[in-house]
Amino acid sequence: MTSSAFDFTHCPDRTLQPGLKWGKYAGRDILPLWVADMDFAAAPEITAALAARAAHPVYGYAHPWPSLVEATVEGVFAHHRWRIDPDWLVWLPGVVPGFNLACQMAGGMGDEVLFVTPTYPPIFAAPPNQQRRAVGVPMLREEDRWALDRAALEAAITPASRMLLLCNPHNPTGRVFTAEELRWLGDFCQRHDLLVCSDEIHCGLVLDDERTPHIPIATLSPELARRTITLMAPSKTWNIAGLQCAFAIIPDAPLRQRFRQSMAGLVEAPNVLGMVAAEAAWRHGTPWLAALKAQLRANLLRVAEAVAQMPGCAMATPEATFLAWIDCRNSGLVNPALFFEDAGVGLSDGRDFGAPGFVRLNFACAPAVLQEALTRMTQAMRA
Ligand SMILES: Cc1ncc(COP(=O)(O)O)c(C=O)c1O
């Protein structure tokens, strides 16, 4: 039981509003533990800021305003120990558009973008969206964690390699790459003259900041910062993804200029309400976030215990995110996502992440819902 000033045990009924996560199984007895948003109510300070803005009944154009920029600069420093210059910020309606823009800047048609697999599905799609080749390099499963396969990354380099599209913390494995791993990746990108696009959308959701702190790759050296586009957003951390507000941090002025040029006429500034929510999150959202993480750690324990009871299933403990990446390859299940859906639990299918035989379970939900889902899964496995 987690004691806090915030209620993470009772969640608002999401079937009452249109939405992706609960809408998918409307009218069916399937608990949705798939797409990556949380069932928890947002921090009360965010809701209050949105209500106050909505009460002013003019919703005209708005560009990021000084107090939002200031709150973001301070927030990035407070949460990630990175002192950024306000000029480095480029505002975006989402992180996915951000890494698609980065792919557009990675050389020319047919050039290659590297990333590690399994991966968040839109990362597979981004290079071909921009007429680049997607080069996925499988990670290695070590004792209780997923690791970079350095030899395979080196072997994947060709004369057409132009960019590393990093996802850190990593979706779906939940890895938070260490300073040593990031230094190796940085050196790798420098040796092969690769642009770095680092999707750090999950950086606010490190479950143990002491043990596995998030390190933005651009902070490792000024040389690395010069070739890096970092993408962040308050959306995952504070459960405001539908409000569509994100930003790129690009220290190098010419690189930033090129990024802005590829946006021109196509990608707008974020939604005004998204920016209101972002400012409130940075300024007032830290106590809520601390309480959220306590709930996520408690939920993760339940998941780990249950998975250990499922014959042939295994999982490495995620260090960040609210996502459990479950390996069902030894379970005998031909299609685990379909099997669990038939048992009343909607999970993300590993095939979409380049990993058949896996499922991804979103544990950011009320403990009672999670328990019921885990019970359904365990019983179905034993039947
Ligand atoms: C790694 C990663 N990047 C980006 C996104 C989505 O970004 P956005 O909604 O800001 O485009 C997600 C959502 O799950 C994600 O997991």
The pocket around ligand 1, CB under 6 angstroms, is made up of 36, 94-96, 120, 167, 171, 199, 201, 233, 235, 241, 246
Same-domain status, 298 and 155: no
From the CA of 321, give the closest atom in ligand 1.
16
From the CA of 235, give the closest atom in ligand 1.
10
278, 252 in Cβ contact below 8 A?
Answer: no
Same-domain status, 162 and 300: no
Domains of the chain: total: 2
The domain in which residue 115 lies consists of 57-284
Same-domain status, 193 and 235: yes
Give the Å distance between the CA of 96 and the centre of ligand 1. 6
Q: What is the pLDDT tens value at each position of the chain, 383 positions in all?
A: 445 789 999 999 999 999 999 999 999 999 999 999 999 999 999 999 999 999 999 999 999 999 999 999 999 999 999 999 999 999 999 999 999 999 999 999 999 999 999 999 999 999 999 999 999 999 999 988 999 999 999 999 999 999 999 999 999 999 999 999 999 999 999 999 999 999 999 999 999 999 999 999 999 999 999 999 999 999 999 999 999 999 999 999 999 999 999 999 999 999 999 999 999 999 999 999 999 999 999 999 999 999 999 999 999 999 999 999 999 999 999 999 999 999 999 999 999 999 999 999 999 999 999 999 999 999 999 98
Name residue 228's beta-bridge partners: 196
Same-domain status, 197 and 290: no
Give the Å distance between the CA of 295 and the centre of ligand 1. 22
Same-domain status, 172 and 314: no
51 within domain boundaries: no
CATH number of the CATH domain containing 362: 3.90.1150.10
359, 350 in Cβ contact below 8 A?
Answer: yes
Q: Is the pTM of this model over 0.75?
A: yes
- List the alpha helices (DSSP H) in the chain: 20-23, 44-55, 66-80, 95-105, 121-129, 150-156, 179-191, 222-226, 253-263, 272-284, 286-309, 336-342, 367-382
